[in-house]
Structures are given as structure tokens and as C-alpha cells.
Structure 1
Amino acid sequence: MRILLTGATGMVGRNLLEHSDAQNYVWLTPGRDKVDLRDRDQVRGFLKAEKPNFVIHAAGVVGGIQANIREPVRFLLDNLDIGRNVIAESRRAGVTRLLNLSCSCVYPRNAPNPLQESSLLQGEFEPTNEGYALARMAALKLCEAISKEDPSFAYKTLIASNLYGRFDSFDPSSSHMVPAVIAKVHAARFAHVAEVDIWGDGLARREFMLAGDLADCVLRAVERFDDLPALANVGTGEDHDINTFYSEIAAIVGFKGRFVHDLTKPSGMARKLLDVSRIAAWGWRAPTSLSDGLRKSYAFYQHDILNENIQ
């Protein structure tokens, strides 16, 4: 099988490609220098020339709360263009199987937790990442519309929880919460700083899954695509408050200082926990615990990120 993987240089893409089962497929992994996914003509030309049998759409312009607040237009427009081009042009090229990877930001900010797939579009998005969420929702609905119009096109979506792990971004200007906290707490420990700040009161709850676990689920989905639900959440089924993430990371890093809350900063949604009963009934559960996953992520930061910066 020839699989086009968009976003192959991102965290999800790289975890997919290093999975032991990835060797069972031929991967098409064009970088932006070869195909700018925001350009419809480039996407159309690539699909026509390479003729993939399957598309995994994992590409997107991503970032944490700070990045989304700072550049809402880019997060909306770039992701709208990328999703529309990849999905619509795959249909035009006759690719009958496509797996669209989305994220939990598509759920309404006040939807009851755990978040069920039936809650989509039943309320407003979280304002701090509204543009990104709108674009991701548009891609999800486009997949649904294509399959509804012509059932021979099986275009399905997995909605992933927040991710962390190998190949994550630890740049504080663009990173998500877990890598940002790892970098901040590590720096505080080795600079002998006594205090580390936490945005908000730290009581907002989040579900984070190791990116390698999502890769495992995606490759299972490729193998068993016919019986995969058309729409399903993928996560750990467990959440923790922000303060717990800081405490767990501090213990792993060896930080002995204290935490202070900056109540002038936003906390984001109060809770984001996915209902994973649909994917569990299909036969998959996330295998990695939070503590094991955080240790793996910190090991990657130490051995790959810091060593790379020192060289």
C-alpha cells in the first residue's frame, strides 16, 4: 500500500514513521519544499503523479495558547487551506480511503465531560484557539460530506486528545503545555531558581496521550480500516489538573522549588476529557501511563533537544 502522510516531519508523523509496523507500507512524505499543502495546484499535481492508495492527513499549523492568541488569522486560514486541499484533492484524485487526524479543540468549550462525539457543534469553541478549531471542524465535516455523497469514499476522522512525547516542540513561543513545562522546570532546576509560575489557578484539567500511542492506534486503523468507526475519539480516558502535571514533571526533573500561580493569565477550557468508549469498543486502548510517558518525553528532551543545542 502506498500511503501519503501529510505532516510527516511533525510530531505525529515522525512517531508514525518510527513505529515498528510502518515498514509494512510504502510512505509518500513530501516536505513543504516539494508540496506546499496550502497550494491547491501543488497538492493536485502531487496526487496525480504519485497515486497513493491511502491518505493519512496529519498536517497542520499547531501551537499552544500563546501562539493561538498571537496569530489567530494564520491558525485559521492556513489550516483551512491545508485541510480543504488535502481532503478535496484526494477525492478528486480517486483516493477512496482517507484518515483525517483531528484534535479535541473541535469540541464546544462548555460541552459535558467526558466529551462524546455527539457533542460536536453543540456550542461555541474555546476563544483562545477558535480559529484553529474552526479549521479542524471544517476538515472533519468535509470528510463526512464526501462519504455521505459517495459511500465508496471512506473518509474517516480520529479526534485525538492533547499529545506529547518524542519529536515534540519545546520552544516556549509555540509549544503545548507538557513540553513547555518540561523545559521551564528543567531550566529552573539547573539555574537554581526557587519559583516557577503556573498560568491561572492550575485547576483546569487536561488529558494528554503519548504521541507514540496515537501512532499505534493509527496504524491499527490502517490495518482494520473497514471496521473503524467513521468518527472516534482517541485518548487515555483519564485527565489530571494542571498542578498535577507540574508536580509530576518536577519529581521527574528533580526540581525542589515551589510553584506560584499567575492569575492574570488564562487557563483555557476548564476540562477536556475525551470519551474513548467508541475506540475501546473497536479494540484499542492507550498503553502508556502518564508517569511513564512523561519520563520518556523528558528523556527525549535531555538526549535529543539539549544535546542538539549544545553541539
Structure 2
Amino acid sequence: MSAREKVLITGGSGMVGKNLVSALDHNRYEVLTPTSLDVDLSDKRSAFNYIDKQRPGIVVHAAGIVGGIQANLAEPIRFLTKNLEIGANTILASLNAGVASLINLSSSCVYPKDIGSNLTEDDILSGKLEPTNEGYALAKITAMRLCDFVRREHPELNYKSVVPCNLYGPWDKFHPKNSHLIPAIIHKVHNANQRQDSQIEIWGDGTARREFMYVADLVDGLAKAVADPCALPDTMNMGLGYDFSIQDYYEAVAGVVGWSGSFTYNLSKPVGMKQKLLNVERQRAWGWQPTTSLVDGIKRTYQFYLKEHAQ
């Protein structure tokens, strides 16, 4: 029996990491998911020592400090510096250890704020970033460029970047302090339903549009990339190719939860970009598309929330 290929997943305790561990074939792969006790990726020596000792065949870099608009506005220094350190240390430690393939998970926040839709991979670094998450975006762009530079100096290596749209699903963060849109809505609507509130406040007017993909779809695509990293484009968006309004997401969650109240609108609150929709032509040419509908994804995520988080 041949030895299993060793796959290192950074951020293995996060939403993408936990779902990816479940999606990979453990008969084919030896999957490493170190905790912060095993390796501190923000510390160069710790990162280099761990990856040099393990010598994985492929690294999926999904680690990072993440949060929604409130968290990014409150701690821009932390979101910039910690993610810079984590990204650079992971990529350079992998290069130092002779890791042949690395899949770097970026974020759609790397795109300029004024384009809105049809965001192609060539649009990165073509304009100003959205101020509400600029620090995080700069760190993600740096990691992407570092992968580009590795390939430039070492053409035999497969250091690629995937740019997912917004994600949601099991193992997401639901606390208002660090949650993104859909888990925040689930938490808010569930509590309103429990209290029998008649109204829920939406930040902005509800017309801003966002593209959210169910996390199990993303990890299905990542599993395809792990199986053949050579075939993965150097930089590739991964998303739905269509979006919904903030109002649509609230209404979809309300329908799943069973809350029948009305919405109010706080126009003084920040909403970020009015639209952020990825172009997925490279993804389609690569031969992959997500399959989970919005309602089905919300149903599964709400079931997880009820099991793990609801009081």
C-alpha cells in the first residue's frame, strides 16, 4: 500500500478548515490540522520549524484573523499585521521546506471598491480598497503577490491563490462581535423570534448586494484543487456568479426561522460596498460550479446554529 500524501491545512479549526477536513479522502491523504499550541503561524521561527519538520506535499492556507465590518473597523491594526505575519510565514516556511504545492485562500475584499460586479482576477490592485476592511485586504493581497513571486522565481512550484466570495455554513462565527452577514442575520432573527419581536433593524436600506456561497461547495472545489494543483489556475475566483440583496438574505433567513415580523432601516450604519460580485469564467473553464441553493444552505446552517449555539 502506497503512503498517503501529507496535506497541511492551516486554520483547521475554522469554518473552511473543519469542513475541508471532512471533505478530503483520508484513505488518500494524511491530513494535518495543527492548533495554535502546535504552531504559532504569526511567529516566523515557530512556522518554519513546524513546516520543516512535517514536510507536507501540499499546504492549504486557510488560517487568518477574520471578522465582519464591526471587527474590522474596531481593530484595523490587528487585522493588517497579524494576517500579514500569518500569510508570509506560512508561504515562506513552505518554500523553505520544499513544499511543492500551496493553495492560498484569499478573500473577495481584495477587489477595488468602485467596480462592484464582474470582478475579474485581473482587477486586483487596479483601484482603491473598501475602507471598512482595508487592513485585512492588504494582508490578503500581499499573500497573493508572494505566491506570484514564488512561482516567478521557482516555476516548478504550484503556489496558487483562490479568491472565494463570501462564505457561510457550519462552524461559522455567530457572535455579533465577529460574525459576517448571514450568521449575524441568523443570530439576530433567531433571537427576535424567541423574544417575539415585531421588528428587526437592517443596517442601510437593504439594497446592497452580496454573493454568499455555502462552505460545503467551496471545500468541494478545494478538494478538486488538492487532487490536481497543477491544473488550478494561478489565481482564480470561486463563487456563484450571481448575488442577492441584503434584504433578500434577511427575508430568506426569516422564512427558514419562521419569524414573520417587519424590517426597519438604519441609514446611519456602514454597509460597505454596494455590490461585490465575482466573475467566475476561470472557475467554469476549470470545470467546477457550486450546487447548493440559498434556502438549502441557510437551512443547514440554521440547524447547526440550533445545535451548537442557540440558548
| Paired amino acid for 2:153 | E
Q: Which residue of 2 aligns with 1:109?
A: 113
Is 1:75 the counterpart of 2:79 in the alignment?
yes
1:12-32 Cα distance to aligned partner (Å, 9 max, x none): 000001115354210111100
Alpha-carbon RMSD across the aligned residues, in angstroms, is 1.0
Q: Which residue of 2 aligns with 1:272?
A: 276
C-alpha displacement of 1:112: 4.8
Q: Which residue of 2 aligns with 1:136?
A: 140
Q: Which residue of 1 aligns with 2:152?
A: 148
C-alpha displacement of 1:140: 0.3
TM-score, normalised with respect to structure 1: 0.97
List alignment gaps of at least 5 residues for structure 2.
Answer: none
CA gap 1:211/1:22 in 2 versus in 1, 3 angstroms: farther
Q: Which residue of 1 aligns with 2:209?
A: 205
C-alpha contact (below 8 Å) 1:47/1:90 kept by paired residues:
yes
1:90-110 Cα distance to aligned partner (Å, 9 max, x none): 101111210001110000001
Equivalent position to 1:251, from 255, 261, 281: 255
C-alpha displacement of 1:277: 1.0
| Paired amino acid for 2:107 | C
| Paired amino acid for 2:196 | H
C-alpha contact (below 8 Å) 1:2/1:53 kept by paired residues:
yes
Is 1:123 the counterpart of 2:127 in the alignment?
yes
Aligned-partner SS, 1:21: coil
2: distance between equivalents of 1:141 and 1:48?
Answer: 23
How many positions carry a matched residue from both structures? Answer: 307
Which segment drifts farther, 22-31 or 91-100? 22-31
CA gap 1:22/1:163 in 2 versus in 1, 3 angstroms: farther
| Paired amino acid for 2:270 | P
2: distance between equivalents of 1:122 and 1:49?
Answer: 39
2: distance between equivalents of 1:56 and 1:228?
Answer: 13
C-alpha contact (below 8 Å) 1:16/1:22 kept by paired residues:
no
Is 1:46 the counterpart of 2:18 in the alignment?
no
Percentage identity across paired residues of the two chains? 47
C-alpha displacement of 1:304: 2.3
Q: Which residue of 2 aligns with 1:304?
A: 308
Q: Which residue of 1 aligns with 2:68?
A: 64
